[in-house]
Structure 1
Amino acid sequence: MARDYLTLAQSMAQEIVFTRREFHQYPEAMHQEVQTNRRIRAFLDKHGIGYMAPADNITVAVLPGATPGRMAGIRCDTDALEVQEQTGLPYQSKNPGMMHACGHDGHITMGLYAALLLHQHRAQRACTVKIIFQPAEEGGKGALKVLDTGAAHDLDAIFGLHVWPTLPVGKIQLSPRPVCASTDRFVIEVLGAGGHGAYPERSTDALAAGAALVTQLQHVVSRFVPAMEPCVLSVCSFHAGNRWNIIPGAAQLEGTLRTFSQTVREEALTRMQEVIKATAQAHRCRATLTVHPVCGPIMNDADLTEHARKSAITVFGADHVQLQAPSVIGDDFAEFTATAPGCYAFLGIASPDASVGNLPLHHNQFTLDENALPLGAAWLAQAADDYARNIAITQR
């Protein structure tokens, strides 16, 4: 018998909003989510939900079913960003320079209430569900930290979602295909020889070489990557010099490369190396490229996503379930999908009049329409429950 998780979640809407705002006020940087996890554990303790605590900043709620079965997972990230919040909301961040500007406070809250919904209906479920409250998603390899503890080694499937500001509240997107790009961080060090600003001919100008690299690197995508292959290369940081009359002898550039194909990734990195070397030599400088892989692409499993789509129809209605276009954001949920079939969805958070939830992720005035939270919690619970029942049916 199907459970009406949406009605149950909506009956808790006031509590859900209160919980989300509590987390919003106390954001913590990646790898430092200790107080956040204390609040998570206090909620679980209050409701009699068991959990594992393999680290101070990792909590895994464990929800056994009535009978042994498969192991389903739900991932919720917990870290915040080094952003000074400018929303002016009465519940805005109380931690200076930190903000939940990517909606992870909402993810935590939806995970907790999905846990509560599943806990209340454990007697009818033939599957254990683990809800993983993961640290350091924002480039800190938190998923690998969770996997290294062994707390998620036994998953047969995993679900996740991300709040999505370009999608109206009441809608969800999911697709059986690649949905998020692989992410690499790169650092370029340019070395020349500094000198007096009045005599540039006596210097080897690292700033000029770096400036040329910013423009030349754009040709990697436009001239070396096939037009139908998604690829983004962005230089996002450039530091050189510290005085108005000294030509700098060193420069540092940082940026990101986003791709869906390993072949395209390798080609782009090879071409970047060639462009960097040639451009530096043209300016009589030397340059090195260091690449820091952040995460691979998220590849939704087709069968699991079809089950999750049916769960979404139950919660949202067929007219509100949409196909998900691939996004070049990165998320280390990909590490979990490398070990078990996964489904990662986008949850609409923009209010109907676009007055709330329409600013981009990581913006210092980012917020969300809190009407989305019961929907997200209900879908996570419904997807895990339906997975258990579908597996039980196929095993009869």
Structure 2
Amino acid sequence: MKQHIEELKPTIDKVFNHLHKNPEVSWKEYETTEYLRTFLQSKGFDVQGFDDCPGLVAEVGEGSPCLALRTDMDALWQEVDGKFQANHSCGHDAHMSMGLGAILVLQKAGFPSKGKLKFIFQPAEEKGTGALKMIEKGVLDDVDYLYGVHLRPIQEIRDGEASPAICHGAARFLTGEILGEDAHGARPHLGQNAIEIGASLVNEIKSIHLDPMVPYTAKMTKFHAGSDSGNIIPGKASFSLDLRAQSNEVISALAEKIEVITESVSNIYGVKIPLETKVNVAAAEVDDEARRFMEQAIVDVLGESQTKEPIITSGGEDFHFYTLKKPNIKATMLGLGCDLQPGLHHPDMTFNQEAIYSGVEILARTLLHTLGEHKNGINVE
């Protein structure tokens, strides 16, 4: 397999350079989709696209088990050198390159005669809604094992190391409004002070107590009220809340507490406080068997000393909606060390691109190890 990867390095580099130079934001990845489609078709693969959204799926083989490798496609919209633009500062260009590399390596090595492989190129991970769309499209209906990959920052794991699981946390991002009446600064009893109401919300949210063994946070991240007139008590305001927890159960409990607090405060002050969930990201549900197959592949490629424990992070990934909505799927995500600095989502993020080749081999071997367990020992050399 290493010889196949050596032969494919120029192709993988060309793919990465193209994707890196042509980023597209969530739900706009149409040119990326067309590039991937054209590339895969030129290599002899049949691909399935979608009428109403970007993204595609390539399938190889048939029967059971069905294994899927998912990579994300979208870039972030952020300020880079004083100009707002699409920017691959989360490594999705590398993830797509690894997905394409894995399918090409397996093609060179010879696809297994039994079992189905799916290669999913998913849009809109950064919006937290792309995985749900793939589920809606039925892409995961026949999948038994699901694997993913994400570059990890140097603060978590070093270049040349890898982890067989990333334990992302759950997150919910809410927006709300306080709908009261303005009042003259001399007559506060004739209206409702949205700033005081916002302060009450903050204090009550800080008093939430849940299972202390599971990390969680809830905080107000934006609050806007009032105008340029300093003698008007503002009755209206808008705000945002950021909720995070390390498990899906605790994030649900946290959201319920927020709803109770909001309703109570609205009743006390006599105002309406509607809330809207903007983004909802599931926490990881790592399957031990899938993790074991990926750990075996990491040991094969990097060695046992470079194989690290699962990474626990409060960051989110919509990959985990697949297991939340399809509990029968056995899944895990590769955490790949690559000297990524200064951090994910930083506009000047850089990483060691040589790590892509290791990622390709680990992913390909993970798929073969999984099939080998079910098909009496497929050769992964």
Query: Over residues 13-72 of structure 1, what are the superposed CA-to-partner deviations in whole Å (9 max), with x where a residue is unaligned?
Result: 34423322321222222111111101111221222222111345121122237xx54211
Change (3 A) 1:247 1:42: farther
Partner of 2:137: 149
Spell out the pairing of 1:216-295 with structure 2 (5 A cutoff).
216-220=204-208, 224-245=209-230, 246-280=232-266, 285-291=271-277, 294-295=280-281
Q: Is the 8 A contact 2:128 2:279 kept in 1?
A: no
Partner of 1:85: 80
Change (3 A) 1:36 1:305: same
Task: Kindly tell me the number of residue pairs found equivalent between the two proteins.
Answer: 371
SS in 1 for 2:349: coil
Q: CA deviation at 1:369?
A: 1.8
Alignment partners' CA distance in 1, 2:370 and 2:19: 29
Alignment partners' CA distance in 1, 2:95 and 2:253: 35
Q: Is the 8 A contact 1:125 1:389 kept in 2?
A: no
Q: CA deviation at 1:196?
A: 4.7
Q: CA deviation at 1:187?
A: 2.1
Q: Is the 8 A contact 1:127 1:388 kept in 2?
A: yes
Q: CA deviation at 1:313?
A: 0.8
1:57 aligned to which of 54, 58, 62? 54
| Segment of structure 1 superposing worse, 235-244 or 157-166 | 235-244
| Segment of structure 1 superposing worse, 204-213 or 369-378 | 204-213
Change (3 A) 1:21 1:211: farther
Q: Is the 8 A contact 1:80 1:104 kept in 2?
A: yes
Alignment partners' CA distance in 1, 2:338 and 2:130: 25
Change (3 A) 1:238 1:24: farther
Partner of 1:44: 40
Partner of 1:70: 65
Change (3 A) 1:17 1:211: farther
2:357 aligned to which of 374, 382, 396? 374
Alignment partners' CA distance in 2, 1:228 and 1:160: 28
2:344 aligned to which of 351, 356, 361? 361
Q: Is the 8 A contact 2:248 2:283 kept in 1?
A: no
SS in 2 for 1:373: helix
With normalisation by structure 2, the TM-score equals 0.88
2:368 aligned to which of 374, 385, 388? 385
Q: Is the 8 A contact 2:4 2:109 kept in 1?
A: no
* Letter of the structure 2 residue corresponding to residue 290 of structure 1: E
Alignment partners' CA distance in 1, 2:248 and 2:18: 41
Asked whether 1:33 is paired with 2:29, we answer: yes
Partner of 1:214: 202
2:105 aligned to which of 92, 105, 117? 117
Partner of 1:137: 125
Q: Is the 8 A contact 2:223 2:237 kept in 1?
A: yes
Alignment partners' CA distance in 1, 2:105 and 2:236: 57
SS in 2 for 1:83: strand
Alignment partners' CA distance in 1, 2:288 and 2:116: 22
* Letter of the structure 2 residue corresponding to residue 233 of structure 1: A
2:177 aligned to which of 184, 189, 193? 189
Query: Over residues 142-168 of structure 1, what are the superposed CA-to-partner deviations in whole Å (9 max), with x where a residue is unaligned?
Result: 112112222332111110011111322
Partner of 1:98: 86
Q: Which runs of 5+ in 1 are unaligned?
A: 89-94, 351-356
Query: Over residues 251-292 of structure 1, what are the superposed CA-to-partner deviations in whole Å (9 max), with x where a residue is unaligned?
Result: 122223222444423432233234334445565644233345
Alignment partners' CA distance in 2, 1:27 and 1:255: 29
Alignment partners' CA distance in 2, 1:24 and 1:215: 44
Alignment partners' CA distance in 1, 2:125 and 2:44: 28
SS in 1 for 2:311: coil
Q: CA deviation at 1:342?
A: 0.7
Change (3 A) 1:121 1:11: closer
Query: Over residues 320-372 of structure 1, what are the superposed CA-to-partner deviations in whole Å (9 max), with x where a residue is unaligned?
Result: 1111132222222122224211111211121xxxxxx2222222222222121
Alignment partners' CA distance in 2, 1:10 and 1:271: 54
Partner of 1:171: 161
With normalisation by structure 1, the TM-score equals 0.85
Query: Over residues 188-208 of structure 1, what are the superposed CA-to-partner deviations in whole Å (9 max), with x where a residue is unaligned?
Result: 221222245576565422133
| Segment of structure 1 superposing worse, 22-31 or 240-249 | 240-249
SS in 2 for 1:333: helix
Alignment partners' CA distance in 1, 2:186 and 2:10: 66
Spell out the pairing of 1:283-322 with structure 2 (5 A cutoff).
285-291=271-277, 294-322=280-308
Percent of aligned pairs sharing the same letter: 26
